[in-house]
Amino acid sequence: MPKLVEYKDMAPRAKAVVEGIAAARGIDPSAINNVWKALARHPGVMEQFAAEMKAAFAPGKLDPLTKELVYLAVSIANQCEYCIASHGAMARRKGMTDEMHEEFMRVVLAAQKGNKLVTAYRVPVDEAFDEA
Amino acid sequence: MPKLVEYKDMAPRAKAVVEGIAAARGIDPSAINNVWKALARHPGVMEQFAAEMKAAFAPGKLDPLTKELVYLAVSIANQCEYCIASHGAMARRKGMTDEMHEEFMRVVLAAQKGNKLVTAYRVPVDEAFDEA
Amino acid sequence: MPKLVEYKDMAPRAKAVVEGIAAARGIDPSAINNVWKALARHPGVMEQFAAEMKAAFAPGKLDPLTKELVYLAVSIANQCEYCIASHGAMARRKGMTDEMHEEFMRVVLAAQKGNKLVTAYRVPVDEAFDEA
Amino acid sequence: MPKLVEYKDMAPRAKAVVEGIAAARGIDPSAINNVWKALARHPGVMEQFAAEMKAAFAPGKLDPLTKELVYLAVSIANQCEYCIASHGAMARRKGMTDEMHEEFMRVVLAAQKGNKLVTAYRVPVDEAFDEA
Amino acid sequence: MPKLVEYKDMAPRAKAVVEGIAAARGIDPSAINNVWKALARHPGVMEQFAAEMKAAFAPGKLDPLTKELVYLAVSIANQCEYCIASHGAMARRKGMTDEMHEEFMRVVLAAQKGNKLVTAYRVPVDEAFDEA
Amino acid sequence: MPKLVEYKDMAPRAKAVVEGIAAARGIDPSAINNVWKALARHPGVMEQFAAEMKAAFAPGKLDPLTKELVYLAVSIANQCEYCIASHGAMARRKGMTDEMHEEFMRVVLAAQKGNKLVTAYRVPVDEAFDEA
For residue E79, the chain B residues in CB contact (below 8 A) are 79
Q: What is the pLDDT of residues D86-100, one digit of tens each?
A: 999 999 999 999 999
Question: For residue E53, which phi and psi values (nearest 5 degrees)?
Answer: -65, -40
Query: Residue A115 above 60 pLDDT?
Result: yes
Interface check for D98 against chain F (CB to CB < 8 A): the answer is yes
Q: A117 burial class (0-12, 13-18, 19+ CB within 10 angstroms)?
A: buried
Residue E25 one-letter amino acid: R
Q: E24 burial class (0-12, 13-18, 19+ CB within 10 angstroms)?
A: exposed
- pTM score: 0.96
Inter-chain CB proximity F45 and D88 less than 8 Å: no
Angle at which helices A81-93 and A64-77 pack, to 10 degrees? 160
pLDDT bin (cut points 50, 70, 90) of residue D6 is very high
Q: What is the pLDDT of residue C31?
A: 96
Residue F37 one-letter amino acid: K
Neighbours, chain C (3 or more CB pairs < 8 A)? A, B, D, E, F
- Interatomic CA distance for residues C46 and D57, integer angstroms: 38
In chain A, residues 54-73 whose CB comes closer than 8 Å to chain F: none
| Mean pLDDT score, B81-106 | 97
Interface check for B102 against chain E (CB to CB < 8 A): the answer is yes
Inter-chain CB proximity D44 and A106 less than 8 Å: yes
Q: Cα distance from F1 to chain D (closest Cα, Å)?
A: 7
pLDDT bin (cut points 50, 70, 90) of residue B130 is confident
Inter-chain CB proximity B109 and F113 less than 8 Å: yes
- Interatomic CA distance for residues B87 and B43, integer angstroms: 23
Cα Rg, chain B, nearest whole Å? 19
Residue A62 · residue A29 · CB < 8 Å = no
Q: What is the pLDDT of residue B3?
A: 85
- What distance lies between CA D114 and its chain's CA centroid? 23
* Secondary structure letter of residue A126 according to DSSP: P
Residue E89 · residue E117 · CB < 8 Å = no
Inter-chain CB proximity D98 and F1 less than 8 Å: no
Q: By CA distance, what is E100's nearest residue in C?
A: C42
Neighbours, chain E (3 or more CB pairs < 8 A)? A, B, C, D, F
Q: Tally C-beta pairs within 8 A across E and F.
A: 237
For residue F80, the chain E residues in CB contact (below 8 A) are 114-115, 118-119
Q: Which of B5-35 are b and which e, b meaning 16 or more Cβ less than 10 Å from the residue's Cβ?
A: bebeebeeebbebbeebbeeeeeebeebbbb
- Interatomic CA distance for residues F1 and F6, integer angstroms: 15
For residue A129, the chain E residues in CB contact (below 8 A) are 1
pLDDT bin (cut points 50, 70, 90) of residue D130 is confident
Please, where are the H alpha helices in chain F? 12-25, 34-39, 43-56, 64-77, 81-93, 98-120, 127-131
Question: For residue E63, which phi and psi values (nearest 5 degrees)?
Answer: -75, 160
- Residues in chain E predicted with pLDDT less than 70, given as ranges, are 1-2, 131-132
For residue F116, give the nearest of B109, B117, B119 by CB distance.
Answer: B109
Q: What is the pLDDT of residue B117?
A: 96
Q: What is the pLDDT of residue D2?
A: 56
Query: Residue D118 above 70 pLDDT?
Result: yes
- What distance lies between CA E53 and its chain's CA centroid? 8
pLDDT bin (cut points 50, 70, 90) of residue A131 is low
- What distance lies between CA C7 and its chain's CA centroid? 22
Q: What is the 3-state secondary structure (H, E, C) of C98-122?
A: HHHHHHHHHHHHHHHHHHHHHHHCC
Q: What is the pLDDT of residues C58-97, one digit of tens each?
A: 999 999 999 999 999 999 999 999 999 999 999 999 999 9
CB within 8 Å of D115: residues ≥ 6 apart: C74, C75, C78, C80, C83
For residue E109, the chain D residues in CB contact (below 8 A) are 113, 116-117
CB within 8 Å of E106: residues ≥ 6 apart: C44, C45, C48, F52, F55, F56
Inter-chain CB proximity B109 and E45 less than 8 Å: yes
Which of D48, D53, D62 is the best residue to mutate to test the B interface, defined by the most B CB atoms within 10 Å of its own CB? Answer: D48
Interface check for A89 against chain D (CB to CB < 8 A): the answer is yes
* Secondary structure letter of residue D61 according to DSSP: S
Residue A104 · residue B64 · CB < 8 Å = no
| Mean pLDDT score, B92-105 | 97
Inter-chain CB proximity C88 and B44 less than 8 Å: no
Residue B35 · residue A114 · CB < 8 Å = yes
Query: Residue D131 above 70 pLDDT?
Result: no
For residue A34, the chain B residues in CB contact (below 8 A) are 123-126
For residue C106, the chain D residues in CB contact (below 8 A) are 52, 55-56
Residue C33 · residue D127 · CB < 8 Å = no
- Residues in chain F predicted with pLDDT less than 50, given as ranges, are none
Q: What is the pLDDT of residues C1-50, one digit of tens each?
A: 558 999 999 999 999 999 999 999 999 999 999 999 999 999 999 999 99
Secondary structure (DSSP) of A53-116: HHHHTSSSSS-HHHHHHHHHHHHHHTT-HHHHHHHHHHHHHTT--HHHHHHHHHHHHHHHHHHH
Q: Which of A93-114 are b and which e, b meaning 16 or more Cβ less than 10 Å from the residue's Cβ?
A: eeebeeebbbbbbbbbbbbbbb
Neighbours, chain D (3 or more CB pairs < 8 A)? A, B, C, E, F
Q: What is the pLDDT of residues F77-95, one digit of tens each?
A: 999 999 999 999 999 999 9
Q: By CA distance, what is B35's nearest residue in A?
A: A123
Which residue from A76, E89, E117, C109 is spatially nearest to F130, judged by alpha carbons?
E89
Interface check for E24 against chain C (CB to CB < 8 A): the answer is no
Q: By CA distance, what is A51's nearest residue in E?
A: E48
Cα-based distances in Å from B84 to B74, D100, E60: 9, 39, 37
Residue F120 · residue B108 · CB < 8 Å = yes
Query: Residue B131 above 80 pLDDT?
Result: no
| Mean pLDDT score, A12-32 | 97
Q: What is the pLDDT of residues B33-89, one digit of tens each?
A: 999 999 999 999 999 999 999 999 999 999 999 999 999 999 999 999 999 999 999
pLDDT bin (cut points 50, 70, 90) of residue C130 is confident
- Interatomic CA distance for residues E53 and C39, integer angstroms: 31
Mean per-residue pLDDT over chain C, rounded: 95
| Mean pLDDT score, D71-76 | 98
Q: Cα distance from D109 to chain E (closest Cα, Å)?
A: 6
Interface check for B132 against chain C (CB to CB < 8 A): the answer is no
Interface check for B106 against chain F (CB to CB < 8 A): the answer is no
Interface check for D78 against chain E (CB to CB < 8 A): the answer is no
Q: What is the 3-state secondary structure (H, E, C) of chain C?
A: CCCCCCHHHCCHHHHHHHHHHHHHHCCCHHHCCHHHHHHCCCHHHHHHHHHHHHHHCCCCCCCHHHHHHHHHHHHHHCCCHHHHHHHHHHHHHCCCCHHHHHHHHHHHHHHHHHHHHHHHCCCCCCHHHHHC
- In chain C, % of residues over pLDDT 90: 94
For residue A57, the chain B residues in CB contact (below 8 A) are 107, 110
Inter-chain CB proximity F102 and A45 less than 8 Å: yes
